[in-house]
Amino acid sequence: MIQIPQDMTEVKVKIAQLEELGHTSDEKEVIFDAIQDNAQSILDEQLEGHYYSCTLDNDTITVYETPEKPAGTVKSQGASFEDDFRKDANGMLIYLSKEISRVINQR
């Protein structure tokens, strides 16, 4: 089973897998989860552990040192991260990695 989709093909496979298990989900929801989960995975990898968290809100990912203390934000390249993912998921993930690195290195 695909845990975190990396592109639109994997999104479609994940939806099919969820439907086989009896779960209802739509493409937009799976893409949202994929972006947020990929951002958290990148953050954990760069910090070598789960020290910070992040949340996705349409065109902005906010990185938090603690639940009350934002460390910084990453803006989408286009209208939203969903649009960026749909157009070029790999490019969006590369951009996200670079920008998350920028946020954690400015602390």
* Cβ 15 vs Cβ 25: under 8 Å: yes
The rounded percent of the chain whose pLDDT value lies above 90 is: 93
Q: What would the pLDDT profile of 55-104 be if each residue is shown by its tens digit?
A: 999 899 999 999 999 999 999 999 999 999 999 999 999 999 999 999 99
73, part of any domain: yes
Q: What is the pTM of this model?
A: 0.94
Residue 107 and residue 52 in contact, taking contact as beta carbons nearer than 8 Å? no
Query: Is position 1 within any domain?
Result: no
Domain that holds residue 100: 8-105
Per-residue DSSP letter, 21: T
Is pLDDT above 90 for 107?
no
Helix (H) or strand (E) holding 43: helix 27-47
Note whether residue 57 is domain-resident: yes
Number of structural domains (the chain) is: 1
